[in-house]
Amino acid sequence: MIDGLLNINKPPGITSFQVVALVRRLSGERRVGHAGTLDPDASGVLPLALGQGTRVIAFLTEAHKTYWAQVELGSATDTYDASGRVISSGDASAITQQQVAEAVALFRGPISQTPPPYSALKHRGQPLYRLARAGVEVRPKPRQVHIFRLDLTAYHHPLLTIEVECSKGTYIRSLAHDLGERLGCGAHLKKLVRLQSGPFHIDDAVALASLEEYFARGDWLHLLHPIDVAVAHLPTVTVNEEKERELRNGRPWPLEGLEEGRLYRAYSKGGQLIALIRFNTAKRQWQPEKVFSRCLGPL
């Protein structure tokens, strides 16, 4: 039984699920999941959760993401990236860096974004990419996302590069497509690298080839990050042995001195993560929301 988080540097050319399947096979741990899909052509940080780590995936999924992206002006594709079919073309030769910078600036902050028609989002139970390949046209509904930072780092016609820090649910493919529409010449995403996902950075990510070598040598466990990393932003509380027993059995209890409505990490006196707890206003009690059945070491 293995509990923890892995920071994987996914190479282009494979799906996020294939990475999960590989780690599941190599580790022998059945419960393995990823925190935020990367497109097959994209590379970079792909956090994986093993064992009880899968119980905190939601916190990693909700975290901010940072990307490096290369966008090609002059053609739009049906998938919004380089793998798709060109559906329109435009002359981008006269577009200046100033015009690109002004267009980029319009996408900072909260924006309404329409996901690509080729995506894993579902419509009536079917992934959009499957419907699109079958010729069924479904226009995804726009949704609110937040671009916290968007920097134009280079422009050499027809390629521009940007660095994006954004909220959960942001599609960089859609951002590239929308930039092309704003500039009037069409555009698509040529290359994408996820630099950071929550607490995990690409500088510390392990390449798949290296990961397989670690498994072959039997010394891969040191690559595991503790589960606490995913919830390090939450405040903590330490409980005595009596409260620890109650928590492990999923029982609520009255506890003073904590902020109501906020989620807390509850630790034993020995520094083991026991549960995530929240105050139940109606019952005036602290309620365990996630209880970890095995002792988890401190952050």
Q: Which residue has the tokens 């924006």?
A: 111
Query: Which CATH number is associated with domain 4-63+199-229?
Result: 3.30.2350.10
CA distance 235 to 167: 22
Q: Is the pTM of this model over 0.85?
A: yes
* pLDDT tens string 125-167: 555 555 445 455 657 688 999 999 999 999 999 999 999 999 9
Domain boundaries along the sequence of the chain: 4-63+199-229, 65-197, 234-296
Neighbours of 35 (CB within 10 A): 25
Helix (H) or strand (E) holding 18: helix 16-27
What is the pLDDT confidence band of residue 282, given thresholds at 50, 70 and 90?
confident
Q: What is the mean pLDDT of residues 226-245?
A: 91
Respond yes or no: is residue 39 known to be catalytic: yes
Q: How far apart are CA 202 and CA 193, in angstroms?
A: 9
Residue 294: pLDDT over 80: no
User: Which member of 39, 81, 178, 228 is catalytic?
Assistant: 39
Taking the CA atoms of 24, 19, 169 and 121 in sequence, report the sign of the dihedral they define.
negative
Q: Per-residue pLDDT tens for 38-57?
A: 988 999 999 999 999 999 99
Class of the 65-197 domain? alpha beta
CATH of 234-296, one of 2.30.130.10, 2.40.400.10, 1.10.3210.10, 3.40.50.1000: 2.30.130.10
- For residue 191, the cross-strand partners are 70
From the number of C-beta atoms within 10 Å of its C-beta (0-12, 13-18, 19+), residue 123 rates as middle
Same fold, 65-197 and 234-296: no
pLDDT band of 124, cuts 50, 70, 90: low
- pLDDT higher than 50, residue 299: no
Per-residue pLDDT reduced to its tens digit, 194-208: 999 999 999 999 999
Residue type, 218: G
In a 3-state reduction of DSSP, which class is residue 162?
strand
